Amino acid sequence: MKKALIIGAGLSGLTAARILAEHGFLVTVLEKRDHIGGNVYDYFENDILVHKYGPHLFHTRQKEIADFIQRFSEFFPYEHRVLGEIKDKLVPIPFNFKSIDLLFPAEEAEHLKEVLTRAYPDGGSVPIMELREHPDTKVKELAEFVFQNVFCGYTKKQWGKTPEEMDSSVMGRVPVRMSYDDRYFTDEFQMMPVEGYTAMLRNMAEHENISIRYCCDALRHLGIVGEKLYFDKELCDYPVIYTGCVEDLLGAKFGRLPYRSLRFEAEHKNVTQAQPVVQVNYPNCYSYTRTSEFKLVQKKEVPGRTIVIYEYPLPCKEGDIPYYPAESEESREIYNRYRTELKRLPNLYLLGRLAEYKYYNMDMAISQALMLARSLTEKEDFVDAEAVWTAE
Ligand code: UDP
């Protein structure tokens, strides 16, 4: 039987594991934490859903990805809506016509919407950095308002940088809408797993060819000598998929890559619902960026109590959990040095947000994993071997 080793039991690692297992590979997954799911991990605390590592809302344009995950869980349609506290009001984010109505006197709001409709007759979404460059003075003025009130404070907290210092793709994730569409995402498929992501991933990993070993730091076992990869001094002559921080594979010899980390604080409240929507953003006040009440996403009703999670961004120091790769020209250059050096290992594959150092959404992570696993199933040159690790 062919075999494969996967480092990391998150969304990327398990998607790859599943595909390989279905194609007859004996797959061992090594996971540092004591649970499945990586940062997608969620759990129920007295019947209330908690996303332990921050809000994860599933959305995709690709039917294939939606179909794939629905093999492992029942889903229900859910369109995420976010409010942001701006000028003491809660207004929809992405900033849209409804936000204008709520923030400006009626006559001015009508005028602003007219100006925007003239500038963008087809509606749609415009990245804030692009809107700021618009030739019309009135459009530019509004863009500046949105920039200052929605993006500057939040981005400073989230990344420790100004929006100008960020890669434009990051600001582009939350564009300005030239319509009343107040959904956070516009993808065709938007849905949440009925029992949560952890249950979904458990089902994904439930295959006779997959074994997961928890609390196992693979880096203590892996060794690189020349072009060869070893596990406890035994040659790995099978594919090894790595989903952790890439620099850890090489002892951070080119320096640590920058990431952003998060700290979460939970507040238990004796009310059925604490905030009007699942997520409220605070671009201009407090040191947290947003509060999430995941309970509002779950199916089961729990009267009289709820949990609100406050999210505090942090620089990622040694030992902290990396959540976001802080992509920049400089960090990408460092990343490429690692990647180039690791390319000499023909059976090592880097996969996921951390190993590929890309700000992937869940669907992109799945898509990459599907692609990699499928390409491996088409390779013929991996020798058959018996598994050397078993689940504990
Ligand atoms: N952002 C912002 N204000 C907001 C929401 C987002 O400035 O109210 C910026 C911020 O820089 C953030 C980026 O847009 O990091 C992407 O936001 P998104 O909600 O996609 O972040 P995620 O949910 O991935 O943390």
Q: How far is the CA of 151 from the centre of ligand 1 (A)?
A: 8
The tens digit of pLDDT for each residue in 87-118 reads 999 999 999 999 999 999 999 999 999 999 99
Q: Which residues contact 149 (CB under 8 A, 6 or more apart)?
A: 86, 87, 283, 284
CA 70 to chain centre: 19
Q: Which of 91, 149, 155, 358 to mutate to test the pocket of ligand 1 (most atoms within 8 A of CB)?
A: 155
Report angle CA 338, 173, 102 to the nearest 5 degrees.
155
pLDDT at position 382, please? Answer: 61
**Considering only CA atoms, which residue is closest to atom 10 of ligand 1?**
155
Question: 133-175 pLDDT, tens per residue?
Answer: 999 999 999 999 999 999 999 999 999 999 999 999 999 999 9
For residues 134 and 140, the answer to whether their CB atoms sit within 8 Å is: yes
Which atom of ligand 1 is nearest the CA belonging to 155? 11
Q: Whose CA is nearest to atom 23 of ligand 1?
A: 55
Nearest CA to ligand 1 atom 21: 173
390 pLDDT exceeds 70?
no
pLDDT greater than 70 at residue 386: no
Min mean pLDDT across 177-186, 237-246, 295-304, 383-392 is at 383-392
* Pair 126, 178: CB distance under 8 Å: yes
**Which string of DSSP letters, residue by residue, matches 92-131?**
EES--HHHHHHHS-HHHHHHHHHHHHHH-TT--EE-HHHH
- φ/ψ bin of 257: left (φ > 0), alpha (ψ from -120 to 50), beta (otherwise): beta
pLDDT at residue 1, as a whole number = 86
The whole model's pTM is what?
0.95
Supply the pLDDT for residue 389: 41
Give the Cα separation of 125 and 116 in Å (integer). Answer: 11
CB-CB contact of 190 with 79 (8 Å): yes
Q: Which residue's CA is the closest to the ligand 1 atom numbered 19?
A: 174
Q: Whose CA is nearest to atom 20 of ligand 1?
A: 173
Ligand 1 atom with least separation from CA of 153: 7
Q: Which residues line ligand 1 (CB under 6 A)?
A: 84, 93, 150-151, 154-155, 158-159, 170-171, 173-174, 281, 283
What integer pLDDT is reported at residue 344 of this predicted model?
95
Structure-block tokens of residue 37: 């799911």
Cα 221 from chain centroid (whole Å): 28
- Do 82 and 92 form a contact (C-beta atoms < 8 A)? yes
Q: Is pLDDT at 377 greater than 60 in this prediction?
A: yes
Atom of ligand 1 nearest to the CA of 281: 8
Mean pLDDT of the chain: 95
pLDDT at 379: 80
Distance of alpha carbon 8 from alpha carbon 14, whole angstroms: 8
Query: Model confidence at 391, in pLDDT bands (50, 70, 90)?
Result: very low
Residue 387 has pLDDT above 50, yes or no: no
Which of the four pLDDT bands, split at 50, 70 and 90, describes residue 300? confident
Tell me the CA–centroid distance for residue 229 and ligand 1, in Å.
38
Number of the ligand 1 atom closest to the C-alpha atom of 93: 8
Q: Which residue do the tokens 């950095």 mark?
A: 129
pLDDT above 90 coverage of the chain, percent = 95
Q: Which of 39, 51, 131, 151 to mutate to test the pocket of ligand 1 (most atoms within 8 A of CB)?
A: 151
Residue-wise pLDDT tens digits, 314-373: 999 989 999 999 999 999 999 999 999 999 999 999 999 999 999 999 999 999 999 999
Ligand 1 atom at minimum distance from 158 CA = 15
CB 25 within 8 A of CB 49: no
Query: Is the predicted pLDDT of residue 385 greater than 50, yes or no?
Result: no
**For 193-240, how does the pLDDT look when each residue is reduced to its tens digit (9 = 90+)?**
999 999 999 999 999 999 999 999 999 999 999 999 999 999 999 999
What is the Å distance from ligand 1's center to 164 Cα? 14
pLDDT for 383 equals 52
Question: Quick one: three-class SS letters along 187-250?
Answer: CCEEEEECCCHHHHHHHHHCCCCEEEECCCCHHHCEEEECCEEEECCEECCCCEEECCCHHHHH
Assign 9 a pLDDT band (cuts: 50, 70, 90).
very high
- Estimate the share of the chain in helix, then strand, then coil, as percent rounded to the nearest 5: 35, 25, 40
